[in-house]
């Protein structure tokens, strides 16, 4: 029923418009007046304006409906729209979306990647010093010891070191650090081998006699210069430093046993000349007495680095000439080496005044 009333109203409006178009332009068209009904009442019938055919048709105005009740087919009801006189400005929607209060979340720090743990190599605690040990050397040597410290230097080494070192402390003159030595003319045995063989035998004899022995080397493949060897003996404050060597010259007939020391005028240790000489003479005399070797005495020279750097009584013993065929054969002989070691040990006993 509502739809019929709507269409009738629309038809009336259309007819009125058409009749206006057909009349005088000065005569305003009469529009139906729609007065809102009171609820439950109807308005008096309105007279339909004359149409183009001059007839008047009765028109009954249906109860006025508010615009809220008028909906187009297929649409849903909308919010009521007021007339222009009743229009009020609706509150503008907020420009920002309303914020809905949310419960506060406890602030949490962003997760951080833990630093990798560093591992430190275990270092054992330092050992506390043994306070019960004496801080000074005993004045009386231990039982079985004679109280003397001897340093033995088996001369040379497998490979020479041709680098230079001062001839003496503070010297501007330089000399090769250490050579590989001579070798047997007949046997071909290197000097450094014979030197160590005799030194090891001498070590055993001296230790059996109560000496403490410091060995510069016990192997061939080392690299110790002549000055360094002397400094080892100096630092140890040895009572005697015996350097064990074999000799060699161009003249193959030369043979015998001798010892080298500095001259009385040596600028580095000339003041100790007498002590060096006494040690060397004791060793040469006793070694020749045991071996039967020719006693060639002492050779004084200031051209030996290993002597010039020495601060302790020192003797460089040349046990024989490896360039002499007969002496070469003796020097590599095990029994003759025993005799050499015994003779040198006897010379040390004589130097220290030890009776055997």
Domain segments of the chain as ranges: 2-67, 149-352
SS3 state at 203: helix
Indicate the pLDDT class of residue 1, thresholds 50, 70 and 90: low
Query: What pTM does this model have?
Result: 0.62
Query: Residue 170 above 70 pLDDT?
Result: yes
6: confidence class by pLDDT, cuts 50, 70, 90: low
Q: Is the pLDDT of residue 61 over 70?
A: no
Q: Write down the pLDDT at residue 89.
A: 42
Query: What torsion do the CA atoms of 338, 344, 348, 351 make, to the nearest 10 degrees?
Result: 140
User: What's the average model confidence in pLDDT over 213-227?
Assistant: 98
Tokens of 131: 């306070």
Average of per-residue pLDDT across 84-101: 42
pLDDT band per the 50, 70, 90 thresholds, residue 242: very high
Distances (CA, A) of 177 to 16, 165, 172, 215: 138, 6, 14, 19
Higher pLDDT, 241 or 109: 241
Give the pLDDT score at 28.
Answer: 44
Compute the mean pLDDT over every residue in the chain, rounded to the nearest whole number. 77
In angstroms, the first-to-last Cα distance of the chain is 157
CB atoms within 10 A of CB 154: 29
Please give the residue that has the higher pLDDT: either 85 or 141. Answer: 141
Whole-angstrom Cα distance, residue 192 to residue 331? 12
pLDDT at 190 over 90: yes
Model confidence at 131: pLDDT above 70: no
Q: What is the DSSP letter of 38?
A: P
3 pLDDT tier (thresholds 50, 70, 90): low
Supply the pLDDT for residue 259.
99
Query: What is the pLDDT, as a whole number, of residue 18?
Result: 58
How confident is the model at residue 141, as a pLDDT? 59
- As a whole number of angstroms, the distance between CA 196 and CA 180 comes to 13
CA–CA separation, 292 and 256 (whole Å): 9
Predicted local distance difference test score (pLDDT) of residue 9: 72
Whether the pLDDT of residue 122 is over 80: the answer is: no
Alpha-carbon gap, residue 150 to 276, rounded angstroms: 14
Distance CA 6, CA 13 (A): 11
pLDDT band at 189 (very low <50, low <70, confident <90, very high): very high
3-class SS of residue 190: strand
Q: Is the pLDDT of residue 129 over 70?
A: no
> Residue 29 has which token pair?
């068209």
Q: Which is more confidently placed, 76 or 152? A: 152
Q: Is the pLDDT of residue 239 over 90?
A: yes
Torsion (CA) 182, 183, 189, 191 in degrees, nearest 10: -20
pLDDT at 212 over 80: yes
Q: What is the pLDDT of residue 104?
A: 47
Q: Which CATH class is domain 149-352?
A: alpha beta
Per-residue pLDDT, averaged over 262-288, amounts to: 99
Statement: residue 230 has pLDDT above 60 = yes
The band of 48, judged by pLDDT with boundaries at 50, 70 and 90, is very low
**Cα 42 from chain centroid?**
106
- Check residue 266 and give its pLDDT: 99
pLDDT computed for residue 17 by the predictor: 57
Q: What is the pLDDT of residue 8?
A: 72
**Which segments of the chain are extended strands (E)?**
46-47, 58-59, 149-154, 161-166, 174-178, 212-215, 240-247, 257-261, 295-300, 314-321
- Encode pLDDT of 286-337 as tens digits: 999 999 999 999 999 999 999 999 999 999 999 999 999 999 999 999 999 9
């Amino acid at each position: 029923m509502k739809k019929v009333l709507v269409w009738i109203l629309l038809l009336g409006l259309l007819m009125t418009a058409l009749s206006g178009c057909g009349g005088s332009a000065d005569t305003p068209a009469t529009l139906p007046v729609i007065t809102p009904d009171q609820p439950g009442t109807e308005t008096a019938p309105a007279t339909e304006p004359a149409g183009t055919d001059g007839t008047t048709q009765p028109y009954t105005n249906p109860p006025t409906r508010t615009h809220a009740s008028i909906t187009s087919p297929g649409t849903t009801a909308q919010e009521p729209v007021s007339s222009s006189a009743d229009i009020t400005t609706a509150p503008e929607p907020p420009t920002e979306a309303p914020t809905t209060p949310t419960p506060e979340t406890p602030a949490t720090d962003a997760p951080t990647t833990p630093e990798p743990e560093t591992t430190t190599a275990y270092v054992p605690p330092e050992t506390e010093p043994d306070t019960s040990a004496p801080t000074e050397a005993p004045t009386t040597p231990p039982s079985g010891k004679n109280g003397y410290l001897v340093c033995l230097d088996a001369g040379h080494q497998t490979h020479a070191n041709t680098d230079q070192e001062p001839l003496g402390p503070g010297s501007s003159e330089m000399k090769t650090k250490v050579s590989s030595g001579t070798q047997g003319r007949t046997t071909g045995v290197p000097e450094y081998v014979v030197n160590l063989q005799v030194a090891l035998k001498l070590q055993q004899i001296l230790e059996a006699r109560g000496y403490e022995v410091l060995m510069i080397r016990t192997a061939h493949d080392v690299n110790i210069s002549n000055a360094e060897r002397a400094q080892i003996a100096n630092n140890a404050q040895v009572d005697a430093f015996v350097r064990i060597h074999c000799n060699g010259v161009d003249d193959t007939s030369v043979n015998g046993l001798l010892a080298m020391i500095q001259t009385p005028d040596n600028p580095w240790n000339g003041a100790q000349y007498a002590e060096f000489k006494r040690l060397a003479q004791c060793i040469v005399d006793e070694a020749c007495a045991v071996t039967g070797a020719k006693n060639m005495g002492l050779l004084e020279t200031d051209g030996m680095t290993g002597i010039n750097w020495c601060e302790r009584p020192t003797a460089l013993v040349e046990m024989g000439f490896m360039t002499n065929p007969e002496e070469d054969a003796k020097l590599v002989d095990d029994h003759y080496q025993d005799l050499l070691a015994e003779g040198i040990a006897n010379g040390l006993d004589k130097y220290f005044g030890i009776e055997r």
